[in-house]
Amino acid sequence: MKLAFWRKSTKEEQSSISAATAPSAGGIIQALRRSLAPEPDWSALEEALILSDAGTATARAIIADAQEIRDGDGHARLRTALMRLMQEEGDRSAATEAEIEVILLVGVNGAGKTTSAAKLAARAKAAGGQPLLVAADTFRAAAIEQLRLLAEREGVEIIEGRPGGDPSAAIHDALTAASARKLQPVIIDTAGRMQTKSGLMEELSKMRRVIGKLAPEAKVEVLLILDATAGQNGLAQAKGFDRAAGVDGVILTKLDAGARGGVALSVRRELSLPVRWVGVGERGTDLLPFDAAAYVAGLLGEGA
């Protein structure tokens, strides 16, 4: 069955994304309003983007792009530059019919992998799938228990690793069970780890090899979980995770928790990775498909 899992956001979800991003809009709006169209104070806009947590290099690149655009006033030119960055041709984030069979969640401790796994399972179930959660964070017995409780709450099945055991063994059992019972997608929660710990990163590589061996034809999505409140500190982590597991996209969590929404801009530019999902709350329905237009609208305070 084709699972319409990567789909466009609804209008209500787009509004939620804009609202979550809006706290970053104040300085940008003020800089635009102080400027005379069509040529705004680009230095003030660059500073506003930096304060929104876009990062210095990304802010400069966006402003340089906007300055090269000839059509429209400063607001329109900045919006076009932001959309060029966040919605590039060929993004799978725009696809609505992609059939993802295995989802591997990676990231550092505390970023929100376990709760994101449960929210993805809830969305897959709502879309007509029969998801299987995999508790492969065998370093923490509490993580296994937490995912078990979330699986019960969402009414989805779960395969649990043994505390202190090999997480690849849990993945092996899960893929075998999923094949036999026609469960899809398989959503794997892994232990938090720093990219500087070579042993832990090799373990992640092993998980990826196990998936490739047991399900060589499966469409696998490796998603890096980034805490939006960590801002620029989270970006350096991605290179190590990409080397170990081959990251395909980002889930930006805790966007509702006072995060500066501009971090998604640097994620896109510095990591060359699309944002797939954003977390805007604690409920199972609070993980939303990323929508570039809604995000940019919030960042620019459109409709405020």
Task: Check if the beta carbon of residue 31 is closer than 8 Å to that of residue 48.
Answer: yes
User: What pLDDT shows up at residue 92?
Assistant: 44
Domain containing 23 equals 11-86
User: What pLDDT shows up at residue 152?
Assistant: 96
User: What pLDDT shows up at residue 97?
Assistant: 46
User: What pLDDT shows up at residue 148?
Assistant: 96
Statement to judge: residues 106 and 232 lie in one domain: yes
Statement to judge: residues 125 and 186 lie in one domain: yes
User: What pLDDT shows up at residue 93?
Assistant: 43
- What CATH number does residue 121 fall under? 3.40.50.300
User: What pLDDT shows up at residue 96?
Assistant: 42
Q: What is the total count of domains within the chain?
A: 2
Query: End-to-end CA distance of the chain, in Å?
Result: 41
In a domain? residue 2: no
Statement to judge: residues 45 and 122 lie in one domain: no
User: What pLDDT shows up at residue 263?
Assistant: 82
User: What pLDDT shows up at residue 95?
Assistant: 42
Statement to judge: residues 128 and 233 lie in one domain: yes
Mark which of 47, 62, 86 sits at the end of a domain.
86
Predicted confidence pLDDT, tens digits, the chain (304 residues):
455 555 678 889 999 988 888 877 777 878 777 765 567 889 999 999 998 888 899 999 999 999 999 888 888 999 999 999 998 554 444 444 457 799 999 988 888 999 999 999 999 998 889 999 999 999 888 999 999 999 999 999 999 999 999 999 999 999 999 999 999 999 999 987 765 566 667 888 888 899 999 999 888 989 999 888 876 666 676 777 777 778 889 999 988 766 677 888 988 888 888 899 999 888 888 899 999 999 999 888 886 5
- What CATH number does residue 39 fall under? 1.20.120
In a domain? residue 3: no
User: What pLDDT shows up at residue 94?
Assistant: 42
User: What pLDDT shows up at residue 1?
Assistant: 44
User: What pLDDT shows up at residue 88?
Assistant: 58
User: Would you say the pTM of this structure is higher than 0.75?
Assistant: yes
Statement to judge: residues 147 and 29 lie in one domain: no
Rounded Cα distance, 271 and 238, in Å: 7
